[in-house]
């Protein structure tokens, strides 16, 4: 740009006659001095322009983009929580109204008001979630058979209701049934947990780790997919390639159990019954491992699911009206040696001997089964 400016200024300053006498050193020196002065003036003007109009404009655009991103991200996260409430077969008029209000404010670039509305919306959703969690805890169905137990566990954070099914891995297999026969990136098939359980001949089942529900806006191009490592009952590894260096914890089951802090610590052995990667790691070697990570989805109260083990005993279960961090403490207090977190919210489902103990929630791309050997 400076070269173009210098050429234009140079040609405008020199007259035709003067161009004929470019050989004159005096004329050339004079014109070069004028040119240098003109260039300095233009460059100073250009620098002033950068320091004022353009920079201020860029700063405003940057601030606007930040406001848009903050508002959009907050609304998307809140919408996913709202979807989970709707997934429990109940529409909540007040939160629907607040959500529509936030959308309208964002569309009018009223970011401050939208942020305030989203905070109100999040507070209303949290109250509804806690109300439902308390109701679920007060009506815990009992698992049948000698493998099921309900009870209350006392921790430093309070007392919490649990519903846990246990089994001996020497007589029970932990297997994963998947709706897709292999990797799936988008529009993946899903089934109710009961269907997985019945076709696998399971006596108990629970929902698996996190996946990307089709109803979430962020999942528009990866509907019902998941990206963690998993081996299903047909010995097929899912997402093997993109988990070579994965830091997501994993549980490995055969006639005994093994938990690793990172999926990358595990190979691709098919001589075991299942591999299930999920996060966060709740308990490791008897110690509670998760105290929170700032994710509002993990810090809200609700019914939460886990899979754990102590040597050759496996546990699948629900803890009611807890955050993920509180569930980690509950599991450790129960004396379960290792455990990982499973999906919650609208995905929660636990099945035992022909009936749901929780759910059914949304249809799932996979389910964790307990099957007799």
In tens, the pLDDT along 262-302 reads 999 999 999 999 999 999 999 999 999 999 898 888 988 88
Are residues 152 and 134 part of one domain?
A: no
Higher-confidence position of 5 and 214: 214
- Into how many domains does the chain fold? 2
The predicted pLDDT at position 11 comes to 44
Residue 99 lies in domain: 1-139
Indicate if the pLDDT at residue 252 is higher than 80: yes
Tokens of 22: 């470019």
Are residues 173 and 55 part of one domain?
A: no
Tell me the average pLDDT of the chain. 81
Are residues 308 and 235 part of one domain?
A: yes
Q: Are 245 and 239 in contact (CB under 8 A)?
A: no
Is the pTM above the cut of 0.75? no
Indicate if the pLDDT at residue 214 is higher than 80: yes
Name, of 110-124, 130-144, 301-315, the range with top average pLDDT: 301-315
Are residues 235 and 120 part of one domain?
A: no
Are residues 132 and 39 part of one domain?
A: yes
Are residues 78 and 103 part of one domain?
A: yes
Across 8-28, average pLDDT = 44
Helices 55-87 and 93-107, interaxial angle, to 10°?
A: 160
Q: Locate all alpha helices (DSSP H) within the chain, ordered by sequence.
A: 2-13, 16-20, 25-49, 55-87, 93-107, 111-138, 193-200, 296-299, 324-333
Are residues 331 and 187 part of one domain?
A: yes
Distance CA 330, CA 326 (A): 6
In tens, the pLDDT along 145-187 reads 546 678 899 999 899 999 999 999 999 999 999 999 999 999 9
pLDDT confidence band for 23 (50 / 70 / 90): very low
Are residues 267 and 229 part of one domain?
A: yes
> Domain ends where: 139, 156, 181?
139
> Domain ends where: 123, 139, 155?
139
DSSP one-letter string for 301-325: -EEEEEEEEETTEEEEEEEEEE-HH
pLDDT confidence band for 36 (50 / 70 / 90): low
Indicate if the pLDDT at residue 230 is higher than 90: yes
The predicted pLDDT at position 100 comes to 74
pLDDT confidence band for 5 (50 / 70 / 90): very low
Helices 111-138 and 93-107, interaxial angle, to 10°?
A: 160
Q: Residue 231: which of 173, 285, 282 has the closest Cα?
A: 173
Are residues 176 and 94 part of one domain?
A: no
Q: Residue 200: which of 179, 175, 167, 163 has the closest Cα?
A: 175
Distance CA 13, CA 198 (A): 90
The predicted pLDDT at position 130 comes to 72
Higher-confidence position of 43 and 341: 341
Are residues 214 and 148 part of one domain?
A: yes
Tokens of 324: 């993920």
Across 28-38, average pLDDT = 50
The predicted pLDDT at position 87 comes to 55
> Domain ends where: 104, 139, 174?
139
Are residues 267 and 214 part of one domain?
A: yes
The predicted pLDDT at position 189 comes to 97
Are residues 173 and 97 part of one domain?
A: no
pLDDT confidence band for 50 (50 / 70 / 90): low
Q: Residue 125: which of 163, 70, 77 has the closest Cα?
A: 77
Indicate if the pLDDT at residue 14 is higher than 50: no
pLDDT confidence band for 29 (50 / 70 / 90): very low
Indicate if the pLDDT at residue 39 is higher than 90: no
Higher-confidence position of 35 and 75: 75
Indicate if the pLDDT at residue 322 is higher than 50: yes
pLDDT confidence band for 333 (50 / 70 / 90): very high
């Amino acid at each position: 740009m400076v070269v173009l400016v210098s050429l234009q200024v140079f040609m405008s300053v020199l007259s035709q006659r003067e161009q004929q006498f470019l050989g004159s050193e005096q004329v050339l020196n004079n014109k070069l001095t004028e040119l240098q002065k003109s260039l300095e003036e233009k460059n100073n003007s250009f620098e002033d322009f950068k320091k004022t109009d353009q920079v201020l404009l860029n700063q405003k655009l940057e601030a606007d983009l930040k406001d848009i991103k903050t508002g959009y991200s907050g609304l998307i996260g809140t919408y996913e929580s709202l979807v989970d409430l709707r997934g429990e077969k109940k529409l909540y008029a007040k939160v629907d109204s607040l959500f529509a209000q936030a959308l309208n404010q964002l569309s009018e670039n009223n970011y401050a008001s939208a942020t305030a509305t989203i905070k109100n919306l999040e507070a209303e959703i949290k109250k509804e979630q806690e109300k439902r969690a308390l109701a679920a805890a007060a009506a815990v169905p009992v698992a049948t058979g000698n493998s099921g137990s309900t009870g209350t566990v006392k921790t430093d954070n309070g007392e919490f209701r649990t519903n846990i099914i246990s089994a001996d891995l020497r007589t029970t297999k932990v297997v994963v049934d998947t709706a897709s026969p292999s990797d799936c990136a988008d529009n993946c098939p899903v089934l109710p947990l009961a269907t997985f359980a019945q076709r696998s001949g399971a006596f108990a089942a629970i929902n698996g780790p996190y996946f990307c529900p089709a109803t979430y806006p962020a999942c528009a191009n990866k509907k019902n997919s998941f990206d963690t490592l998993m081996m299903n009952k047909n010995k097929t590894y899912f997402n093997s390639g993109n988990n070579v260096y994965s830091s997501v914890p994993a549980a490995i089951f055969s006639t005994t159990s093994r938990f690793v802090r990172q999926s990358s610590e595990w190979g691709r052995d098919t001589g075991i019954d299942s591999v299930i990667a999920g996060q966060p790691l709740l308990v490791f070697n008897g110690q509670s491992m998760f105290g929170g990570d700032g994710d509002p989805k993990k810090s809200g109260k609700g019914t939460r699911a886990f899979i754990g083990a102590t040597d050759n005993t496996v546990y699948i279960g629900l803890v009611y009206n807890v955050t993920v961090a509180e569930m980690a403490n509950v599991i450790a207090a129960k004396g379960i040696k290792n455990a990982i977190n499973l999906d919650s919210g609208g995905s929660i489902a636990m099945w035992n001997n022909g009936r749901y103990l929780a759910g059914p929630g949304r249809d799932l791309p996979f389910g964790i089964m307990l099957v007799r050997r």
